[in-house]
Structure 1
């Protein structure tokens, strides 16, 4: 099958949707399909051979974060050229309502279109305000995928349709087999956090408060942090005497992300909102690391209502500290969480997820072929 996949966000910066697109493409290639990915990226960027750069991106606020997208006449021309050259059996766009190449690809498409919705934005007023444009896009989408029940709910309640729920995938073997970083996790307990720690919705401030409260009573407790941002922003609020127990890796590669997750006793996800799935949780689970996460609906679903990880009251630094302390003092419980998580995360392994996506592709192609046959019968011209 010839498959075109469109990512709306720049591959020059890391992100959940970007990682999803690349991992899905590689899983489909491993299943002997021909795949091309179109995404915003500088033409000078080092990209996988199956990726086509749509051009430089610009930052725009989106879903409580900042997304780097590409739009405009030049980008539209590149999208059309890529579609014409690809002659794809199916086009798979991610986040088709983002003002970027995904939306342009849908509007330019002529064959079956599958759209994946990652976010769970429930602000129907914003969706209603753009209903005219959204309707044009929706009419060209043949089949929809939602990565979570929350993302699917948006389709049902606000976009006049349903979607097949297929979760984000995770490369289980890559995380399970990664070696820890030298000297980690150590004997005194190690906590981990990965993400944009300057974004309020990621909740890093809560973890920082918990660490500062716990560290004086646990002289060997350490914190390992990875993600974009300046060190001075990370260390703000951490007393001088504790700073040598906080290690900042900066922005890491996918390989080093796996090593980082294998290097801690607990992965902490203190997010306070704006999450539709929780990919970092499944990655930590694949790494065999016990998870402590805020009680967001998306996280609760991934952790099976607390059966495969510890949940704490969202936004409560005291509840977070107590949850971390309980697990640091209870190694059997940590190991039990990790064992159960390993069984659950097998359902998220990319070969499993990719085959579910292929079923949606096949249905979209069949539906489009049937539509064409009907149109030819109804109008023999």
Structure 2
């Protein structure tokens, strides 16, 4: 990397050793920035060794309920101190903060440095807006430290603008399409329906499993990921269902390429469906819930079928 290269710190409040949409975007953005000559370093919590080089870890996380899920967040004083030390060592020109108002490393950056900060808001769940409203006064000074505000979707944008005022530019998530050009499809002897995601109520996996159990045709259901519902659902649904557990990015690409259709039956809380982007990048047809966040990604009655959740 050139000594004069722009240096960007990508700060994530969630543990990068846990699979998640925000974590995936942070790591993917780091790769993309490095590909164009920018010196990018990820600063984030991690529960164990970091998943790849180029990451400075600032401590383990604890699980907090949020947005119908559980977020692996680290917000101790020790984490704040390690975050500031990591920035002093790296000396970035710009800090890119993902979910900048979530407690932890981002708050340490906003309160303890004077480097220009770009904040990216991901969440669009109504509960997040209620949280913003309740903490509007103490959060406002942190928000004012951001030189630029971005949001990954209209829903995330509305959450921020409705609570704090001002403007927030939409900058959608993206995926690395070359991954799907290089991967090999997993063989499927019969038509395969693929679900990828966290096994929790808002993702609608139970709905898909119940519907598939009543499907009277020769097909199979592939289920990737894990979550609080995994054990109970796996014990109940075995016939024609293959459970893969957590999968790597390469394994996910292989599954998406091999599937006949990808199905994402979320019932709420989706800001922008990255997993839909991944399916479309693999040229796999999509069936998904007709949620506003999904409509911005999938074209109904084109390569996608959107149905009421």
Return the TM-score normalized by structure 1. 0.76
1: CA distance, partners of 2:272 / 2:288? 12
Going by fraction, where is helix more abundant, 1 or 2? 1
| Whole-angstrom CA distance in 1 between matches of 2:53 and 2:191 | 41
SS at match of 2:245: coil
Decide whether aligned partners of structure 1 residues 47 and 236 sit closer, same or farther in structure 2, where only a CA change above 3 A counts: closer
Deviation at 1:156, TM superposition (A): 2.0
Aligned counterparts of 2:219 and 2:234: Cα–Cα separation in 1 = 16
Q: Secondary structure at the match of 2:258?
A: coil
Partners of 1:126 and 1:232 in 2: CA distance: 31
Is 1:228 paired with 2:233? no
The runs of at least 4 consecutive aligned structure 1 residues that moved more than 4 Å come to none
Q: How does 1:179-328 map to 2 (within 5 A)?
A: 179-181=184-186, 184-186=187-189, 188-197=190-199, 199-214=200-215, 217-218=216-217, 220-229=218-227, 232-238=231-237, 243-314=238-309
| Aligned CA distance change for structure 1 residues 190 and 127 (closer, same or farther; 3 Å) | same
Structure 1 position 135, deviation (Å): 0.8
What is the CA distance between 1:305 and its match in structure 2?
A: 4.0
Q: 2:163 is matched with which residue?
A: 158
Which residues of structure 1 form unaligned runs of 5+?
A: 315-381
Matching of residue 102 in structure 1 with residue 100 in structure 2: no
Counterpart residue number, 1:92: 96
Of 77, 85, 106, which residue of structure 1 is paired with 2:81? 77
Cα 1:141–1:24 shift into 2, 3 Å = same
Following superposition, the deviation at residue 237 of structure 1 comes to 4.2
Matched, 1:129 2:134: yes
Picking from 6, 14, 35, the partner of 2:11 is 6
SS of the equivalent of 1:81 reads: helix
Change (3 A) 1:47 1:211: closer
1:270-318: CA deviations, max 9, x gaps?
000010000000001111110000100111121134433011111xxxx
> Please, what is the CA RMSD of the aligned residues?
1.6
Give aligned pairs, total. Answer: 302
Residue pair 1:300, 1:306 contacting (<8 A) in 2 also: no
Q: Give a deviation string over 1:1-51, Cα, whole Å, max 9, x none.
A: 111110110011100000000000010000001111100014x50442210
**Aligned-residue offset at 1:133:** 2.0
Contact 1:69 1:101 (C-alpha < 8 Å) held by counterparts: no
**Aligned mate of 2:33, from 11, 28, 32:** 28
Q: Does 1:60 find its partner at 2:58?
A: no
Structure 1 residue aligned with 2:115: 111
Deviation at 1:71, TM superposition (A): 1.3
Change in CA separation of 1:23 and 1:60 when aligned onto 2, cut-off 3 Å: same
Once residues 93 and 245 of structure 2 are traced to their aligned partners in structure 1, the CA distance between those partners, rounded to angstroms, is 40
Contact 1:222 1:246 in 2 (8 A): yes
Distance of 1:10 and 1:235 partners within structure 2: 26
Equivalent residue of 2:72, what SS? strand
Instruction: Measure, in 2, the Cα distance between the counterparts of 1:232 and 1:139.
Output: 44
Higher alpha-carbon deviation: 18-27 or 152-161: 152-161
Contact 1:93 1:106 in 2 (8 A): no
Deviations 1:180-207 (A, max 9, x none): 22xx322x3110001122x110001111
- Structure 2: gaps spanning 5 or more residues: 1-5
In 1, Cα distance between the equivalents of 2:230 and 2:271?
28
